[in-house]
């Protein structure tokens, strides 16, 4: 079964008196992980929210296959696009497993907040928790978990939707290095195995280069570069976007941005 294709064309967004995005286009490929990178305030989260249908104050076009996003019902959008926001929170006394099961709501015939109601739901919840290593604390109240554990639960909730489009805004925040790598490996596996379109906002350029198939580099609300990480993460692009420059030490190999210096140093 062919996965639907998400694309955005000529997106411009003004919030208040600020132009957040200008003429941004993006055509991510199913089966691959696309990273959105850029300095703080570059428009990354705004673009992701537009792709997910959460931000509607923009001009341009976002479509799923040939269908404009605004023409899809909320239920159809929820089935096709799973969204993980920054700093997700839970305000009820739910277990980790119950939170993950919330991802199955779009597929259920009636609202059921707490239990996966059939074998398909239960399998999706279990697979999502296994992929994100949430099994050990499945029955613990989610608010008793560490920030990193909670983030893994919310990532599992996004996986449980089994949506062909997955949008994650800084999914590796609060995670230790092992789980950062595990998270990005899981996103890559989901993209490949399910031919899903995965788009993630990331700040760690080394991890973005390692785990993303393509990168979109935003600078002051516009596309500075798009394509293979090696073509995007050039010294000239990173100097313009981040005001950082590579070390002078000729023995420093690879991207390894942790060794780079600020422009003014």
Query: What's the pLDDT at 93?
Result: 87
Find residue 24's DSSP bridge partners: 11
CA–CA separation, 36 vs 241, rounded Å? 13
CA–CA separation, 188 vs 117, rounded Å? 28
Query: What's the pLDDT at 192?
Result: 94
pLDDT band at 66 (very low <50, low <70, confident <90, very high): confident
Q: What is the pLDDT of residues 13-58, one digit of tens each?
A: 998 889 999 999 999 999 999 999 999 999 999 999 999 999 989 9
Average pLDDT, the chain: 90
Query: What's the pLDDT at 111?
Result: 55
Query: Where do the domains of the chain lie, and which CATH numbers do they carry?
Result: 6-233 (3.40.50.300)
Q: Is 263 helix (H, G, I), strand (E, B) or coil?
A: coil
Q: Cα dist. 174→49, 112, 149 in Å? A: 21, 30, 9
Compute φ and ψ for 264, nearest 5 degrees: -85, -5
Closest residue by Cα to residue 196 from 155, 228, 162:
162
CA angle 178, 256, 248 (to 5 degrees): 155
Q: What is the pLDDT of residues 6-23, one digit of tens each?
A: 999 999 999 888 999 999
Q: What is the pLDDT of residues 211-238, one digit of tens each?
A: 999 999 999 999 999 999 999 999 999 9
pTM of the model: 0.90
Query: What's the pLDDT at 244?
Result: 87
CA–CA separation, 64 vs 66, rounded Å? 6
Closest residue by Cα to residue 20 from 56, 51, 1, 45:
45
């Amino acid at each position: 079964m062919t996965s639907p294709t998400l694309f955005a064309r000529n997106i411009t967004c003004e919030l208040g008196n600020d132009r957040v995005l200008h003429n941004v286009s993006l055509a991510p490929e199913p089966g691959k992980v696309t990273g959105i990178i850029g300095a703080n305030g570059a428009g990354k989260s705004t673009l992701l929210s537009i792709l997910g249908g959460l931000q509607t104050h923009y001009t341009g076009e976002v479509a799923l296959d040939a269908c404009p996003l605004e023409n899809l019902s909320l239920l159809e959008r929820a089935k096709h696009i799973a969204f993980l926001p920054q700093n997700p929170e839970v305000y009820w006394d739910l277990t980790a497993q119950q939170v993950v099961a919330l991802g199955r709501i779009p597929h259920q015939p009636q609202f059921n907040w707490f239990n996966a109601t059939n074998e398909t739901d239960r399998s999706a919840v279990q697979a999502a928790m296994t992929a994100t290593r949430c099994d050990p604390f499945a029955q613990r109240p989610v608010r008793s978990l560490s920030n990193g554990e909670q983030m893994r639960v919310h990532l599992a909730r996004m996986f449980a939707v089994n949506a062909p489009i997955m949008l994650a805004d800084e999914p590796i925040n609060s995670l230790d290095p092992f789980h950062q790598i595990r998270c990005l490996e899981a996103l890559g596996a989901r993209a490949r195995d399910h031919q899903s379109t995965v788009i993630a906002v990331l700040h760690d350029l080394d991890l973005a280069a390692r785990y993303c198939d393509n990168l979109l580099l935003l600078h002051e609300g516009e596309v500075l570069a798009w394509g293979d990480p090696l073509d995007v993460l050039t010294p000239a692009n990173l100097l313009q976007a981040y005001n950082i420059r590579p070390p002078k030490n000729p023995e420093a190999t690879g991207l390894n941005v942790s060794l780079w210096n600020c422009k003014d140093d």
